[in-house]
């Protein structure tokens, strides 16, 4: 991968020269120049073999552009862009091509009281400190560690809330703080690098699910910087990059990487501009993968989950009370969900008043009502009544009639298997009287944490992100339930989804903030969201230690 990527970059190295760029593309060319130059600098730093072939060709192009006054003297005139020029100088220096006059201008700018002094966000401050270090400009390397506590990486961010820009802040923090794997930072108190690995692997799932090769490449590089070289995450990321690399070595960037106005650019330039950065990243991944200078991988972190019991208990209490005020069509699913939650808490008495109320209200309900409610709601309500020793004659009659129909079938469709098992569990259908029921594939508890080679479901990862962005709490809760039942309850993505969900609980115990002044709309939304949240949290409490 590295060789083909570097060959593609070298073949188009003329694009890096700002002198040949149109006025509106000069800044873009300067950015591409420093990023490609830095790749050559890291190659010289991580591999003792001399630069030859395509790497040497890139270096010659960089050196030729950087020796021109029109480039290096911009350091003194455009102080806000100091890192564009200092990074190029650092790369030349790493390659043994020091340019004393270029270095003098950079030192002068740094000492001028602004270029290295104006306010920067934390990861950009790390960029400055790292670049000055590579330029040989005196500064205290430990000052990098003083910046780390303020970075997004070390603040335990919720992965579902991170934008692409946030993810780049995380990856670049790791590049600079670890000096691309050559330095062990003094991590902030309470943070362990294993947490960083967990975060990177979760972000890799989301990046690959969205086919973003640029982020996949940067996240893979970060895992290498932390010493993680042989894991399911690195294997998947590497395979993904190989699958998207074109025959000529180019790796296309994600959709929208260029401004919409780029559509008006000539095809050759647009083709290069859309792919050069991701191709640089792919080459860097190859370089880091073969580097012998990585440290040991950190120990995995202990999964910390939000205690869910108190949240679920308050939600069950609220839902039971709210269900009593609903009509029976809306109220029955609510009280059934509350019963599921109470059962998970081993406090079935919480739901008993609601169960008794609806059992009495629906004692003479028509079979069509139960059919309308669906097998899952009717079955779970029946199970809750059975456990509470409460009788509902119309439901009992409906279940017996359903059992007779099932017994007459030659086989059971797969999508009806759960309902048939429920009938057997309720005692209304003898196991021997039922036709062959498709076997249920067992969940694999903890497979995400035991080193198994299963991949987190991409569709569910995207569903969680979309649900959070659109504030579709019902969709988010339903996806959490599926993931928990599938054995992914302790995965970072699922845990962060649960953390987001419980953060939407209000002081009364209901879930969701409708941001509406209409009382009817508010009540309907909160009732629906709370019902979904209770079902999801009940599954989470039953599956693990989070309760």
Cα–chain-centroid distance for residue 273? 27
CA distance 263 to 269: 11
Q: How many CB atoms lie within 10 A of CB 119?
A: 6
Q: State the Cα angle at 315 between 383 and 304, rounded to 5°.
A: 100
Q: What is the mean pLDDT of residues 109-133?
A: 94
Are 137 and 266 within one domain? Answer: yes
Res 452: pLDDT: 46
pLDDT surpassing 60 at residue 487: yes
**DSSP code, position 437:** P
More confident residue, 422 or 106: 106
pLDDT surpassing 60 at residue 440: no
Are 275 and 344 within one domain? Answer: no
Of the pLDDT bands very low, low, confident and very high (cuts 50, 70, 90), residue 427 is confident
Q: How many CB atoms lie within 10 A of CB 542?
A: 17
Average confidence score pLDDT of the chain:
92
CA distance 482 to 79: 53
Are 132 and 91 within one domain? Answer: yes
CATH number at residue 147: 1.50.10
Res 64: pLDDT: 96
The 3-class secondary structure across 473-533, one letter per residue, is HHHHHHHHHHHHHCCCCCCHHHHHHHHHHHCCECCCCCECCCCCCCHHHHHHHHHHHHHHH
Are 419 and 501 within one domain? Answer: no
Are 31 and 174 within one domain? Answer: yes
Helix (H, G, I), strand (E, B) or coil at 25: helix
CA-closest candidate to residue 177, choices 218, 148, 217? 148
Q: What is the pLDDT of residues 128-170, one digit of tens each?
A: 999 999 999 987 656 999 999 999 999 999 999 999 999 999 9
Are 286 and 319 within one domain? Answer: no
Q: Flag whether 453 is in a domain.
A: no
Q: Give the residue carrying structure tokens 């903890």.
A: 446
Contact 217, 174 (CB under 8 A): no
Q: What is the mean pLDDT of residues 173-193?
A: 94
Evaluated on CA atoms 191, 195, 197, 201, the torsion sign reads negative
CA distance 56 to 51: 5
Q: What is the mean pLDDT of residues 55-72?
A: 96
Q: Flag whether 532 is in a domain.
A: yes
Q: Flag whether 508 is in a domain.
A: yes
CA distance 315 to 472: 18
Q: Flag whether 56 is in a domain.
A: yes
Are 157 and 37 within one domain? Answer: yes
Are 500 and 377 within one domain? Answer: no
Q: Flag whether 42 is in a domain.
A: yes
Residue 462 belongs to what domain range?
458-543
Are 236 and 351 within one domain? Answer: no
pLDDT surpassing 50 at residue 547: no
Strand partners of residue 505: 511
Res 448: pLDDT: 43
Tokens in use for 459? Answer: 């569709």
Strand partners of residue 245: 251
Q: Flag whether 303 is in a domain.
A: no
Q: What is the pLDDT of residues 208-265, one digit of tens each?
A: 999 999 999 999 999 999 999 889 999 999 999 999 999 999 999 998 777 666 666 7
Res 294: pLDDT: 65
Res 297: pLDDT: 87
Are 217 and 140 within one domain? Answer: yes
Res 138: pLDDT: 80
Evaluated on CA atoms 379, 381, 382, 387, the torsion sign reads positive
Q: What are phi and psi of 505, to 5 degrees?
A: -85, 135
Are 199 and 52 within one domain? Answer: yes
Q: How many CB atoms lie within 10 A of CB 198?
A: 21
Q: Where are the alpha helices (DSSP H) in 247-308?
A: 267-290
Of the pLDDT bands very low, low, confident and very high (cuts 50, 70, 90), residue 285 is very high
Are 41 and 125 within one domain? Answer: yes
pLDDT surpassing 50 at residue 447: no
Q: What is the pLDDT of residues 378-419, one digit of tens each?
A: 999 999 999 999 999 999 999 999 998 888 887 877 777 788
Res 260: pLDDT: 63
Q: What is the pLDDT of residues 351-365, one digit of tens each?
A: 999 999 999 999 999
CA distance 79 to 115: 5
Of the pLDDT bands very low, low, confident and very high (cuts 50, 70, 90), residue 441 is low
The Cβ-side half-sphere exposure at 271, using a 13 Å CA radius, reads 10
Contact 273, 265 (CB under 8 A): yes
Q: How many CB atoms lie within 10 A of CB 440?
A: 10
Res 135: pLDDT: 96
Q: Flag whether 307 is in a domain.
A: no
Single out the residue in 384, 399, 433 at which a domain terminates. Answer: 433
Contact 32, 16 (CB under 8 A): yes
Q: What are phi and psi of 245, to 5 degrees?
A: -75, 130
Q: Flag whether 438 is in a domain.
A: no
Q: Where are the alpha helices (DSSP H) in 47-94?
A: 53-66, 69-72, 74-77, 82-94
Contact 528, 496 (CB under 8 A): no
CA-closest candidate to residue 536, choices 466, 470, 464? 464
Res 522: pLDDT: 96
Res 436: pLDDT: 62
pLDDT surpassing 70 at residue 453: no
Helix (H, G, I), strand (E, B) or coil at 182: coil
pLDDT surpassing 80 at residue 429: yes
Res 15: pLDDT: 94
Total domains in the chain come to 3
Long-range pairs for 116-123 at CB < 8 Å and ≥24 separation? 116/82, 118/80, 121/169, 122/147, 122/148, 122/150, 122/151, 122/152, 122/173, 123/151, 123/152, 123/169, 123/170, 123/172, 123/173, 123/176
Single out the residue in 256, 290, 324 at which a domain terminates. Answer: 290
Q: What is the mean pLDDT of residues 315-332?
A: 95
């Amino acid at each position: 991968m590295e060789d083909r990527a570097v060959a593609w970059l070298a073949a188009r190295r003329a694009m890096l020269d700002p002198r040949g760029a149109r006025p509106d593309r000069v800044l873009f060319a300067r950015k591409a120049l420093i990023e490609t130059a830095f790749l050559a600098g890291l190659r010289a730093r991580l591999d003792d073999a001399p630069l030859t072939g395509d790497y040497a060709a890139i270096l010659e192009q960089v050196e030729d552009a950087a020796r021109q006054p029109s480039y290096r003297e911009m350091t003194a005139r455009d102080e806000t862009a100091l890192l564009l020029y200092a990074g190029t100088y650092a790369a030349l220096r790493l390659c043994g091509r020091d340019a004393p006059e270029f270095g003098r201008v950079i030192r002068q700018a740094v000492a001028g009281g602004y270029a290295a002094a104006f306010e920067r966000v934390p990861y950009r401050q790390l960029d400055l400190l790292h670049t000055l270090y590579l330029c040989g400009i005196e500064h205290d390397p430990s000052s990098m560690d003083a910046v780390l506590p303020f970075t997004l990486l070390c603040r335990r961010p919720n992965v579902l809330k991170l934008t692409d820009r946030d993810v780049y802040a995380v990856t670049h923090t790791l590049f600079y703080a670890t000096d691309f794997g050559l330095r062990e930072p003094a991590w902030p108190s309470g943070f362990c690098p294993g947490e960083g690995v967990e975060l990177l692997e979760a972000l890799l799932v989301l990046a690959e699910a969205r086919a973003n090769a640029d982020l996949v490449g940067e996240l893979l590089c970060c895992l290498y910087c932390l010493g993680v070289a042989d894991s399911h995450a690195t294997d998947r990321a590497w395979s993904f990059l190989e699958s998207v690399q074109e025959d000529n070595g180019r790796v296309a960037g994600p959709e929208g990487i260029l401004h919409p106005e780029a559509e008006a650019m000539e095809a050759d330039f647009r083709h290069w501009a859309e792919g050069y950065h991701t191709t640089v990243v792919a080459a860097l991944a190859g370089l880091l993968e073969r580097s012998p200078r990585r440290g040991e991988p950190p120990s995995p972190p202990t999964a910390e989950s939000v205690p869910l019991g108190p949240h679920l208990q308050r939600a069950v209490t609220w839902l039971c009370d709210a269900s009593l005020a609903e009509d029976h069509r809306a109220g029955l699913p609510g009280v059934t969900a509350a019963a599921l939650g109470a059962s998970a808490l081993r406090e079935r008495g919480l739901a008993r008043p609601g169960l008794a109320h609806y059992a009495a209200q629906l004692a003479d309900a028509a079979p069509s009502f139960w059919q309308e409610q669906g097998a899952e709601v009717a079955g779970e309500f029946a199970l809750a009544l059975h456990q509470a020793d409460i009788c509902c004659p119309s439901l009992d009659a409906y279940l017996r009639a359903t059992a007779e129909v099932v017994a007459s079938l030659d086989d059971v469709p797969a999508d009806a298997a759960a309902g048939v098992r429920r009938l057997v569990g309720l005692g209304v259908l003898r196991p021997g009287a039922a036709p062959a029921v498709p076997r249920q594939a067992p969940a694999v508890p903890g497979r995400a944490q035991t080193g198994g080679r299963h991949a987190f479901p991409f569709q569910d990862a995207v569903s969680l992100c979309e649900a959070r962005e659109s504030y579709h709490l019902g969709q988010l809760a339903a996806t959490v339930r599926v993931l928990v039942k599938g054995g992914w309850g302790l995965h970072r993505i699922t845990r962060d989804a649960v953390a987001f969900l419980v953060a939407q609980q209000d002081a009364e115990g209901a879930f969701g903030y409708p941001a509406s002044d209409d009382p009817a709309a508010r009540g309907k939304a909160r009732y629906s969201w709370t019902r979904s949240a209770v079902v999801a949290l009940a599954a989470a409490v039953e599956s693990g230690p989070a309760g």
